[in-house]
Amino acid sequence: MSHLPVLIPVTLLFSAFIIPLAGFLKRDLAFAIALIGASLSFVFSALGLLAVIPGGELRYHLGGWIPPVGIEYALDVLSAFMATVVTFVGTLALLYSRRSILQEVPERFVPMYALAMLLLAGLAGIIVTADLFNLFVFLEIASISAYALMAVGDERGCVASFRYLILGSIAGSFYVLGVGFLYFSTGSLNMADVAQRLPNLHDSRAIVAAATLIFIALGLKMALFPLHLWLPDVYSYAPSAVT
Amino acid sequence: MNAAIADYNYLMTATLLVIGLYGMVGKRNLLKKVIGMNIFQTAIFLFFIQGATKPGATVPVWDARISGEAAGYINPLPHVLILTAIVVSVATTGVALALLLTIYRRYGSLEEGTILERMKQSS
């Protein structure tokens, strides 16, 4: 069994944990590790993409548990492509960010990189996971590190970031609530499994409620039209490398 | 109506949800928003835990008298999920409180109106 799907987020997570330690020794070591971690994970995503392009998909069962019971990570063409794009853009942003962070917030150099890697890990995890609740966990990893990153700038950034935090946690909670409805009506958290069982339940009101809740939640997270109020503040007050 | 009385626990959870949402959206004080957030999340935890119960079932720990009969145990999965969700909620609250600390040090207030006024003055 190929380990690629799980290696993508785990490399990022692992480097996020080493960066603060390395930062104690030498500041530039933190930058080097962040860069190595991000590019390694880019290599893994690209390898994954090459492996799935001829057809088929990579599935990884965490802890060896078979899917409806255990958590599954899956790479198909779409998710492998997304993972490649995200890790590539992340690596480029890290390269560029060094100078901009040194200019704007030099005293927070090391924590910035640890948080940026956590954010990337969250995003990569959202892409590769095939489990509804695991997606929530990665969503919150990405969100919480984003709140912290946005507050690194000045104090106005803190106010904007607090507003984002309140809306973001409403969104996260709606998502879990929707997943709860889905789980209690289908009895499964695995995406493929839920998709298989949904057609039998298409007129159930719980499913409609779940779909509505999840749609509102993801709409808030990606700032879809009526739910975009948090966005302008956050972008104007956060350090430029973060945006 | 009868269903509402029989499932009154879900009604209470819904009430908690609404109280929490009101606290987050309606209150002007930032600390009260954080408290509202916690109430909101607790309501969701309760919803999951209630969904795990079955009539006549016991805690999901091996019992020789019930042995392998799945109907004899309540569903342990929602409990595990909520354990994770509680950790997430604690982390969010921690970040929120840290942000509030910085905001209070800078603006000397946690009332939204006062902060906005002082932001305008300083810029």
Lowest mean pLDDT, pick from A29-33, A228-232, B11-15: A228-232
Q: Provide the residue range defining the domain that includes A62.
A: 1-130
Q: Which residue has the higher pLDDT, A90 or B38?
A: B38
**Closest to A165 (Cβ–Cβ): which among B44, B88, B92?**
B92
A160 shares its domain with A115: no
Averaged pLDDT for residues A82-98: 81
User: CA–CA separation, B103 vs A159, rounded Å?
Assistant: 7
Q: What global pTM score does this model have? A: 0.83
User: CA–CA separation, B69 vs A106, rounded Å?
Assistant: 61
Last residue of a domain, one of A93, A109, A130: A130
CB contact under 8 A, A133 and B81: yes
A28 shares its domain with A50: yes
A52 shares its domain with A143: no
| C-beta of residue A63 within 8 angstroms of C-beta of residue A70 | yes
Please tell me the total count of domains within chain B.
1
CB atoms within 10 A of CB A77: 15
User: CA–CA separation, A17 vs A126, rounded Å?
Assistant: 19
User: CA–CA separation, A221 vs A157, rounded Å?
Assistant: 18
Residue A83: closest CA among A112, A56, A120, A57: A120
A184 shares its domain with A86: no
Q: Provide the residue range defining the domain that includes B109.
A: 2-122
pLDDT at B93: 92
Averaged pLDDT for residues B13-25: 89
- Beta pairing class for A72-75 and A58-61: antiparallel
pLDDT category of residue B4 using cuts at 50, 70 and 90: low
Say if A164 is an interface residue toward chain B (CB within 8 Å): no
Determine what percent of chain B is predicted with pLDDT higher than 70.
Answer: 93
Say if B51 is an interface residue toward chain A (CB within 8 Å): yes
pLDDT at B90: 92
Please tell me the total count of domains within chain A.
2
A20 shares its domain with A126: yes
pLDDT at B56 over 80: no
CB contact under 8 A, A165 and B95: yes
**Closest to A180 (Cβ–Cβ): which among B47, B92, B95?**
B47
User: Tokens in use for B7?
Assistant: 């499932």
CB contact under 8 A, B37 and A166: yes
User: What CATH number does the domain containing B86 carry?
Assistant: 1.10.287.3510
| C-beta of residue B90 within 8 angstroms of C-beta of residue B38 | no
A10 shares its domain with A106: yes
Say if A161 is an interface residue toward chain B (CB within 8 Å): yes
pLDDT at A65 over 60: yes
A114 shares its domain with A142: no
pLDDT at B36: 92
Averaged pLDDT for residues A152-164: 76
pLDDT at A243 over 70: no
Averaged pLDDT for residues A57-62: 74
Please give the mean pLDDT across all residues of chain A: 77
A7 shares its domain with A124: yes
pLDDT at A160: 79
A101 shares its domain with A154: no
Averaged pLDDT for residues A129-133: 83
pLDDT at A239: 55
Say if B88 is an interface residue toward chain A (CB within 8 Å): yes
CB contact under 8 A, B84 and A158: no
Residue A113: closest CA among A58, A152, A61: A152
pLDDT at A1 over 60: no
